[in-house]
Structure 1
Amino acid sequence: MAEDKYSVMGQAIFDHVGGPGNVEKLIHCMTRVRMTIRDYDKVDMEGLKKIPGVLGVVEEDTLQVVIGPGAVNKVALAMVNSVGVELGETFPSESTHASNKEAVNAKAAEVHAAQKAKLKQTWWRQVLQAISGIFIPLIPVFVGAGLVSGIAAILSNLMVAGTIGKNWTDIITVLKVINGGLFSYLAIYVGINSATQFKSTPGIGGAIGAMTLLPGVVAPVTITNIFNGQPLAAGQGGIIGVIFAVWIASMVERKLHKWIPDSVDIIFTPMLTLLVVGAFTIFLVMPIAGVVSSSLVGAIQWVLSVGGAFSGFVLGLFFLPMVMFGLHQILTPIHVEMIAKLGYTPLLPILAMAGAGQVGAAIALWIRARKNKKLTGLIKGALPVGILGVGEPLIYGVTLPLGRPFITACIGGGIGGAVIGGLGNIGAIAIGPSGVALIPLIANGKWLGYVFGLLAAYAGGFVATYFFGVPKSAMVDEDEEVAVAADAPVATVSAPEPAAAKVAGKGELVATATGDLLPMDQVNDDVFSKKMVGDGFAINPSMGTVVAPADGTIVSVADTKHAIMMTTANGMELLLHLGLDTVELGGKPFTVNVKAGDTVHAGQQIALMDLDAIKQAGKQTTVITAVTNMDAVDSITPITAGKIDEGTLVQTVVTK
């Protein structure tokens, strides 16, 4: 019986979370079963991920098991029915009449779990998070300024070669000024972002960054380095010194806020912070950090020049594990420092080979495991962005869950890194992109060597995976009925889907809102960004109107109004998800203008969102449009991120 399937799946979930007694509450949204867990020590994460029909597991404030639209409500209902409670009600503990000893043990387990959660947030993880927060907002401008610099370099070379005339001088100068707007004053931007991360005044952080540029110090005036008697150089200490100095300033500022009376705090706190930390930065941080940054850059250059292909292989091999644990963020300031001192970073092209190894591994999996429609569907969605250098969908959605392909992909990355390291002197003038997207940013015309490295990494990942990295389980077709069933959810306003002829072929998706269009892999939610429930697009709306993405029929509307399911004439099954984690808002910020069974047209208004109410509730307003039956999709066009108006064509989807 169909109901048995959902009960079996629900029981399997209970078995891997420590039983119903370890669950405090259970609810579901359009794609996930959400459980409040009492003791995470009892949860078997790996076992959960292996349950047939489970698309993924996300651990946030609740434990979220991704099942997909349609089946999720039936699994959730089977789980609460087996316990004898309603959705959202508190589950009974394993013993409601526990003895004193049992109560003490339960409390000890609770404290132990809380302490374990604290230990996970180690100091070095906090450092990595801070570094990420400082540099991620700057990555788009790094890319933009780097491309401008690359154009200027090409034009300069053409002028030297006599291909273009001297009349291009002004244009080249303007391009260099545009590029210099970032890199000449990078210390100020880093100072501001550092202060924001350290919860200090951004203006003070920017001022401290500016101090390292020694404004007002014009020859013959100098400031003496107290350690060696030589004049300090503008920018000495680099970005590393700025981050450290602003961290010190944040602590000094907090202390002063406590000590200085409120009536004069606004006057004396910033003055004393700048005075004390400014002197500390100029006389101590700049000299010491200057030695550190110079030594670091020199050491990396030495390793690459001496180690050559071997160093490249090791770096390319181990970069993916660093990404998996979030350790790659520590390399960002090193890249920036090398660009400041050398004009390029030789590390980035080598490390980019790790993503290329993923691409080769994914292609091998696609060929060897072509019977596995679910896996090949994931690969189709993740491969295009992987080629462009966005490797997370391939890592977390394809190779890492399978185990062996992740290792063989790392080997491919090592092979590509060996080629780059062996050729030598291949560097990037900006950070941010990798893969094919990094080609325009390769310094000194060495892009062909970088392309050779990419091809070697593709080939290495492909060969290693094709012959050694494909598990037998990946080559077997899975029963996807549980994961992608399109039945109307329980606890939704729904009606049977009217019988309509569906003809495979071309279909078009339009923007569901006015705002900023972004690809699915950039959504701030693992379930959507890893394409566990399908591919499509997302919009951060600037207006509250939501329109239909295509001509079709409404299948169901969640009673919390945050999600709508519909189908189209060419067989697409579409999920419209209004906001992130908005199931918790109980439908209050939403007005839905359609019901199950309605026929809608692309661009027709179907809902309204109260954007301010959603933001005040601490939720994100992102509108998701996902094709949930990717196994029926033959091709889907990539999107171009940027501003967009509702009703504008976004994607073309061809079904089979």
Structure 2
Amino acid sequence: MAELSADAAPADDAPAAPQKPLDRFIDVISGIFQPILGIMAACGMIKGFNTLFVALGVYPDTCGGYLLLNAIGDGLFNFLPMFLGYTAAKKFGMKPMLGLVIGAIMCYPGIQNSTLEAAGEPLYTLFEGTMFASPVYVDFFGIPFVSMDYTATVIPVIFVTYFASKCEKLFSRTVPDLVKFFFVPCLTLLACIPVGLLLIGPVATFASKLIAEAVIAVRDFSPLVAGAIVGLTWQVLVIFGFHWSLVPLGIVNLTTLGHDYILACMIGHSFALGAVLFAMYLKNKDENFRELALPAMISAFFFGVTEPAIYGIALPQKKPFVVACIGSAVGGLIIGLSGAVLFMSGGLGVFNWLSYLPTGPSSTIGATYMIWAIVASLASAVVAFAIEFATYKPEQA
């Protein structure tokens, strides 16, 4: 109604009022994700049911049926930059197919860090002896290429597409009409891809390393505080794709120590989001909202796929996102307080509880850590639900 009133009686200064940076960022992110929320929730649910059927012994995870269903569930998320490149291009006023190509380039197997790392020894290490030490496997005409894995990432492709949209507009104005059809996309790709891979990628990599080092430092100071911080900020890190900075640390811990305490602390984030959406679902009777909220809630709560809930509902409305972060922090605090760790990298949501069972014989631990994980999950859900149900007003959303 506020927008209609503003349109009906425009004030002199109203159209010129600048949008707050946070509001602009949320508007951009929501607009980019909105077109794929339904299919994202569908893929997440298929992946979750596939995990459920394996856990129930319906079929093994080595059979062809599991492989094909997992491909359906993982396909969108693995090639997420392609979808986001397409929708981001539309949001930024660029030809959508050019954005799709940018996403495809960022998913190209040959430039992924995992591929380059497996191919051989690095040429040299950039910033050796610092926390930003980065092995360089290839260079771009003498410029070091700090590689990273771009599949399933969010922010890099959005920034590259935004820069590409500016380049496209510039070249569209300057390139002669006779050759504009193929020269504009050609020049745009030649301008934006090197900048994206040589500048935006390294910035994201260094930011991820800073976050990882900060978490380790806080954990050394206080596991309880570290647990609360990981829980509180996990969903924020997901938005920027920086949560991948903690995943390698968790995998290293699992392979060297046999357990991990960092990823264990994010157990409550999907339960908090699911609970927030459930509270909103109960109070909001709008059918369009409920059709979006129900699959996003199921996907988050049971299968740990939170993107539809974050980008479709929680983040655009801001307060539900903050409430979910608070609920997640409670779960992280409980894990930090209990000292619980996970012993495998398994499923998400309710299936993540099994990761807290020791993989080898352990008479002293047993199911203790899994019980703490369940307690942390339920506490996250209860706190988030209580706050959102008490404060949510559908008419103000």
> Shift of the alpha carbon at 1:212?
2.5
Matched, 1:456 2:350: no
Distance 1:135 1:215, change over 3 A: same
Q: Which of 271, 275, 293 is matched with 2:186 structurally?
A: 271
**Counterparts of 2:61 and 2:36 in 1: how far apart (Å)?**
33
SS at match of 1:61: helix
Distance 1:442 1:148, change over 3 A: farther
> Shift of the alpha carbon at 1:147?
3.9
> Shift of the alpha carbon at 1:256?
0.5
Q: Which of 130, 136, 139 is matched with 2:28 structurally?
A: 130
> Shift of the alpha carbon at 1:272?
0.8
> Conserved in 2, the CA contact under 8 Å of 1:358 and 1:412?
no
Give deviations 1:591-631, integer Å, cap 9, x for gaps.
xxxxxxxxxxxxxxxxxxxxxxxxxxxxxxxxxxxxxxxxx
Identity %: 21
Distance 1:292 1:309, change over 3 A: same
Q: Which of 152, 164, 171 is matched with 1:256 structurally?
A: 171
SS at match of 1:262: coil
Q: Tell me which protein shows more strand as a share of its residues.
A: 1
**Any gaps of 5 or more consecutive residues in structure 2?**
127-134, 139-144, 252-262, 302-308, 358-369
Give deviations 1:183-242, integer Å, cap 9, x for gaps.
332222222222222221222222222222344668869997995533465625943322
**Counterparts of 2:196 and 2:44 in 1: how far apart (Å)?**
29
**Counterparts of 1:235 and 1:410 in 2: how far apart (Å)?**
26
Distance 1:259 1:138, change over 3 A: same
Which residue of structure 1 aligns with residue 364 of structure 2? none
Matched, 1:333 2:240: yes
> Shift of the alpha carbon at 1:178?
2.4
> Shift of the alpha carbon at 1:179?
3.1
Matched, 1:235 2:178: no
> Shift of the alpha carbon at 1:273?
0.8
RMSD: 5.6
Q: Which of 436, 444, 447 is matched with 2:355 structurally?
A: 444
**Counterparts of 2:185 and 2:271 in 1: how far apart (Å)?**
42
Distance 1:279 1:347, change over 3 A: same
Which residue of structure 1 aligns with residue 86 of structure 2? 192
**Counterparts of 1:339 and 1:247 in 2: how far apart (Å)?**
27
Which residue of structure 1 aligns with residue 5 of structure 2? 62
**Counterparts of 1:157 and 1:299 in 2: how far apart (Å)?**
36
> Conserved in 1, the CA contact under 8 Å of 2:237 and 2:243?
no
**Counterparts of 2:26 and 2:188 in 1: how far apart (Å)?**
25
SS at match of 2:63: helix
Which residue of structure 2 aligns with residue 288 of structure 1? 203
Letter of the aligned partner of 1:130 in structure 2?
A: V
Q: 1:165-244 alignment to 2 at 5 Å?
A: 169-215=63-109, 227=126, 228-231=135-138, 233=147, 235=149, 238-244=153-159
Which residue of structure 1 aligns with residue 306 of structure 2? none
Q: Tell me which protein shows more helix as a share of its residues.
A: 2
Give deviations 1:504-553, integer Å, cap 9, x for gaps.
xxxxxxxxxxxxxxxxx9xxxx64x96xxxxxxxxxxxxxxxxxxxxxxx
> Shift of the alpha carbon at 1:259?
0.9
> Shift of the alpha carbon at 1:128?
2.3
> Conserved in 2, the CA contact under 8 Å of 1:309 and 1:419?
yes
Which residue of structure 2 aligns with residue 418 of structure 1? 333
Distance 1:332 1:234, change over 3 A: closer
| Higher deviation after alignment, 172-181 or 288-297 | 288-297
SS at match of 1:200: coil
**Counterparts of 2:4 and 2:81 in 1: how far apart (Å)?**
36
Which residue of structure 2 aligns with residue 349 of structure 1? 268
> Shift of the alpha carbon at 1:408?
11
> Conserved in 1, the CA contact under 8 Å of 2:225 and 2:336?
yes
Q: 1:279-428 alignment to 2 at 5 Å?
A: 279-296=194-211, 299-300=214-215, 307-313=222-228, 331-334=238-241, 337=244, 347=266, 349-350=268-269, 352-353=271-272, 356=275, 415-422=330-337
**Counterparts of 2:190 and 2:242 in 1: how far apart (Å)?**
31
> Conserved in 2, the CA contact under 8 Å of 1:317 and 1:354?
no
> Shift of the alpha carbon at 1:250?
1.1
> Shift of the alpha carbon at 1:456?
2.8
Letter of the aligned partner of 2:268 in structure 1?
A: P
Distance 1:203 1:296, change over 3 A: farther
Q: Which has the higher contact order (CA 8 A, sep 6+)?
A: 2
> Shift of the alpha carbon at 1:414?
5.5
Give deviations 1:287-343, integer Å, cap 9, x for gaps.
333333344356457657865444555677899xxxxxxxx7774233774698669
> Shift of the alpha carbon at 1:278?
2.2
**Counterparts of 2:52 and 2:264 in 1: how far apart (Å)?**
19
Distance 1:156 1:210, change over 3 A: same
Distance 1:209 1:412, change over 3 A: closer
Q: 1:517-556 alignment to 2 at 5 Å?
A: 527=395
Letter of the aligned partner of 1:126 in structure 2?
A: R
Letter of the aligned partner of 2:163 in structure 1?
A: I
TM-score normalized with structure 1 length: 0.38
> Conserved in 1, the CA contact under 8 Å of 2:81 and 2:104?
yes
> Conserved in 1, the CA contact under 8 Å of 2:32 and 2:87?
yes
> Conserved in 2, the CA contact under 8 Å of 1:196 and 1:202?
yes
**Counterparts of 2:236 and 2:325 in 1: how far apart (Å)?**
18
> Shift of the alpha carbon at 1:418?
2.7
> Shift of the alpha carbon at 1:267?
1.6
Q: 1:589-604 alignment to 2 at 5 Å?
A: none
Distance 1:206 1:387, change over 3 A: closer
Distance 1:182 1:418, change over 3 A: same
Letter of the aligned partner of 1:132 in structure 2?
A: S
Q: 1:12-27 alignment to 2 at 5 Å?
A: none
Letter of the aligned partner of 2:33 in structure 1?
A: F
> Conserved in 2, the CA contact under 8 Å of 1:316 and 1:413?
yes
> Conserved in 2, the CA contact under 8 Å of 1:416 and 1:457?
yes
TM-score normalized with structure 2 length: 0.58
Distance 1:462 1:280, change over 3 A: closer
SS at match of 2:179: helix
Letter of the aligned partner of 1:350 in structure 2?
A: H
